[in-house]
């Protein structure tokens, strides 16, 4: 069973401190939504308000069309999986998974059926008689998820559930979560500050910053069409290159933008009336830069640091005017620190941000 979730104009304050301000969001039944943002942006607080672990200062939260922000946590039809597994150490896996159902007086036969079904789904049937101290971190996380599954909730809420796992186990558990969502078809909300988790798991990403939502979109929407300079810099590794805009002029159907570092870039954007190039920024990702090797010109760049990652090489360089810039080259690249390169930018891949940090709309070109 899955359910839609409606967050309408929700605000959270602790005394005079506002941590979330007028948040509105609709989550469809069966959707996997990730709350992504830096530490302190309010993403975990919003999740805890949905779960009922934090009170709502203003606004409403509904699950499956029923308002729940006035209900206790156990009546909301959601199940939460925490960063810390929160397993009872003296209980077996089976007892940990069944404990919540026993507390509400569910029949033993139904509890047994649900626990065995969840254990089969998570492939932990062979662990049912073990205690948590005999389990690996990944196994404990599966038990915590199983404890949520047996409740047959309308929605699953995950609060950074992979952060305690090592890198290899995080990757494997990420895959298992994606498969679990596909099998259950359940509504899932997942909180993380890890963009890789967000990009690989989400149907839609909700990017949060400074008490508000910056952008909502599919992983490729927020990557390819960031709504703000913050989103552009937060999504992607390495972060997007940003260059200060010196001036811009309209030439026929194009916009000629003069920047630090790259100089003049001819591209296509709709500039609102009254917008000024002062304080504007041009952005471009490292993979949209070409190292010119055919002698056809390009902008000179001096390599300072070369990071070899196997499938690609990242070159951290500096323009003659002192502007820093990152270029992605082939994994077999022979570029070394100190080398002088010539580079060119794909004008169709640049982004333009106003002095308020919001992205200008790209014209069809």
pLDDT in tens, the chain (365 residues): 689 999 999 999 999 999 999 999 999 999 999 999 998 899 999 999 999 999 999 999 999 999 999 999 989 999 998 877 788 999 999 999 999 899 889 999 999 999 999 898 888 999 999 999 999 888 888 898 888 889 889 999 999 888 877 777 788 888 888 888 988 889 999 999 989 899 999 999 999 999 999 999 999 999 999 999 999 999 999 999 999 999 999 887 889 999 999 999 999 998 888 889 999 999 999 999 999 876 667 899 999 999 999 999 999 999 999 999 999 999 999 999 999 999 999 999 999 999 999 999 888 65
Task: Please state which CATH number belongs to domain 5-227.
Answer: 3.40.50.300
pLDDT at 100: 87
Q: What is the DSSP letter of 228?
A: B
* Residue 7, strand partner residues: 25, 61
User: Cα separation of 79 and 103, whole Å?
Assistant: 15
pLDDT at 173: 81
For the domain made up of 238-353, give the CATH fold.
Answer: OB fold (Dihydrolipoamide Acetyltransferase, E2P) (2.40.50)
Cβ neighbours for 78, distance < 8 A, ≥ 6 positions apart: 50, 51, 52, 63, 153, 154, 155, 156, 157
Q: How far is CA 226 from CA 119, 328, 352, 360, in A?
A: 40, 20, 10, 10
pLDDT at 1: 63
List the one residue out of 128, 144, 135 whose CA is nearest residue 92.
128
Task: Take residue 150 and report the two structure tokens written for it.
Answer: 């047996």
Q: Where are the domains of the chain?
A: 5-227, 238-353
> Residue 32: left if φ>0, alpha if ψ -120 to 50, beta else—which one?
beta
Is the pTM for the entire model greater than 0.85? yes
Q: In the block, which residue shows the tokens 């196994």?
A: 139
User: Cα separation of 195 and 353, whole Å?
Assistant: 22
Cis omega (within 30 of 0) on the bond before 238? yes
Cβ neighbours for 263, distance < 8 A, ≥ 6 positions apart: 299
* Residue 198, strand partner residues: none
User: Cα separation of 48 and 26, whole Å?
Assistant: 17
């Amino acid at each position: 069973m899955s359910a839609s979730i409606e967050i309408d104009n929700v605000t959270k304050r602790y005394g005079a401190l506002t941590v979330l301000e007028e948040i509105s969001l609709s989550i469809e039944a069966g959707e996997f939504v990730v709350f992504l943002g830096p530490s302190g942006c309010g993403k975990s607080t919003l999740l805890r308000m949905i779960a009922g672990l934090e009170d709502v200062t203003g606004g409403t939260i509904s699950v499956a069309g029923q308002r729940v922000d006035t209900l206790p946590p156990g009546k909301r039809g959601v199940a939460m999986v925490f960063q810390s597994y929160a397993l009872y150490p003296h209980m077996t896996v089976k007892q940990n998974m069944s404990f919540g159902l026993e507390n509400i007086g569910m029949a033993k036969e139904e509890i047994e059926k649900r626990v065995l079904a969840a254990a089969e789904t998570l492939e932990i049937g062979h662990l049912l008689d073990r205690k948590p101290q005999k389990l690996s971190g990944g196994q404990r996380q599966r038990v915590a998820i199983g404890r949520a599954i047996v409740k047959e909730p309308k929605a699953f809420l995950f609060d950074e559930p992979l952060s305690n796992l090592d890198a290899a186990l995080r990757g494997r558990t990420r895959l298992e979560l994606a498969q679990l969502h596909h099998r259950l078809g359940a509504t899932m909300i997942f909180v993380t500050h890890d963009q890789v988790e967000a990009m690989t798991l989400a149907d839609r990403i909700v990017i949060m910053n400074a008490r508000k939502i910056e952008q909502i979109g599919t992983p490729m929407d927020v990557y390819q069409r960031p709504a703000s300079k913050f989103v552009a810099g937060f999504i992607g590794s390495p972060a997007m290159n940003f260059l200060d805009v010196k001036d811009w002029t309209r030439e026929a159907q194009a916009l000629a933008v003069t920047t630090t570092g790259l100089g003049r870039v001819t591209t296509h954007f709709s500039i609102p009336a009254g917008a000024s190039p002062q304080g504007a920024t041009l952005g471009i990702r490292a993979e949209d830069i070409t190292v010119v090797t055919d002698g056809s010109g390009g902008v000179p760049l001096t390599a300072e640091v070369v990071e070899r990652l196997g499938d690609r090489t990242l070159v951290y360089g500096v323009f003659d005017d002192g502007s820093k810039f990152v270029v992605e080259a082939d994994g077999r690249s022979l570029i070394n620190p100190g080398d002088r390169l010539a580079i060119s930018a794909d004008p169709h891949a640049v982004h333009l941000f106003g002095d308020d940090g919001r992205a200008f709309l790209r014209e069809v070109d």
